[in-house]
Structure 1
Amino acid sequence: MRYVVLIAYEPGGWAEASHEVRQQHVDAHHAFERYVDEHGRRLSSAALSDADLATTIRRDGGGSDVVTDGPFVELAEQIGGYYDVELPDLDAAITAGRLLPRAYTVEIRSVVGVEGYESL
């Protein structure tokens, strides 16, 4: 099965984090990656820029688009990165997700096909 693991966090903590806390986060990500590599495979992963650097396209009912700087909604947490992985089942994805830093909220979503749509 293919899963996207979304990593949400409260902004601002990384800049103030000690070297030890930062290393704990790095070690947790490496534990996650080792687990996935042993039980499935990583397709891609990336850290994302902060939400205040996002660009949002809002669509109105009249067919116009408004492009603005910043996130779509104000959030206490924001998505800071993701992993796109293949693992045998949801239980394995949950086990892997639990290896990520405890300061994160981890959301796991299965990737689904959309009938009539094929990616180019």
Structure 2
Amino acid sequence: MKYLLMIHMNDDAWQALSEEERNHMMNSQEGFMNMLRESGEMVLTHALANPSTSAVVRVQDGAPAVTDGPFAEAKEYLAGYYVIDCESRERALEVAAQMAEARFLGVEVRPIMFSAGMEM
């Protein structure tokens, strides 16, 4: 079963971390990715740009209307994600608990219902 591990960011919480804690979180990514590759559970991962660089598109009266910035004001936002393929929900939770972000910011684990367009 495939699971989405969503890394949530909170700028205030990030700034409250020590430089050592921030460096640990950033530097732990390579080892975490290698662990997932070696176990065969890695499907893909992406880091996302800050929401201030996003845009929202809405179609009104048949014409697209583009608004700069995120959809909604929020203290927490999606900063990146991993898609993993593992045997059970319990294993997905175990993998998420190994992420440095789980210790500082939180990782949401959600099953993927279906994939379309690209083979994952």
Q: Secondary structure at 1:52's aligned position in 2?
A: helix
Flag the 1:31–1:96 CA change in 2: closer, same or farther, 3 A.
Answer: farther
Counterpart AA for 1:51: P
Q: Residue 105 of structure 1 aligns with which residue? A: 106
In the comparison of the two structures, how many residue pairs are matched? 116
Which sits farther off after the overlay, 68-77 or 36-45?
36-45
1:77 matched to 2:79: no
Amino acid across the alignment from 2:108: E
CA contact (8 A) 2:51 2:70 kept: yes
Partner secondary structure for residue 22 of structure 1: helix
Which runs of 4 or more aligned residues in structure 1 lie more than 6 Å from their structure 2 counterparts after TM superposition? none
Letter in 2 for 1:94: L
Task: Give TM-score scaled by structure 1 length.
Answer: 0.78
Task: Check the 8 A contact 2:45/2:80 in 1, yes or no.
Answer: yes
Query: Is the counterpart of residue 119 in structure 1 residue 114 in structure 2?
Result: no
Of all paired residues, the percent bearing the same amino acid is 26
The corresponding residue for 2:36 is 36
Gaps of 5+ in 1: none
Q: Check 1:74–1:88 CA distance in 2 against 1; reply closer, same or farther (3 A cut).
A: same
RMSD: 2.5
Residue 119 of structure 1 aligns with an amino acid whose one-letter code is G
2 CA distance for matches of 1:90 and 1:8? 19
Counterpart position of 2:6: 6
Taking structure 2 as the reference length, the TM-score comes to 0.78
- Residue 88 of structure 1: aligned partner: 87
Amino acid at match of 1:69: D
Give the drift of 1:107: 1.3
Contact 2:3 2:83 in 1 (8 A): yes
Report the Cα offset of residue 34 of structure 1: 4.5
Report deviation, 1:22. 2.1
CA distance in 1, matches of 2:31, 2:54: 29
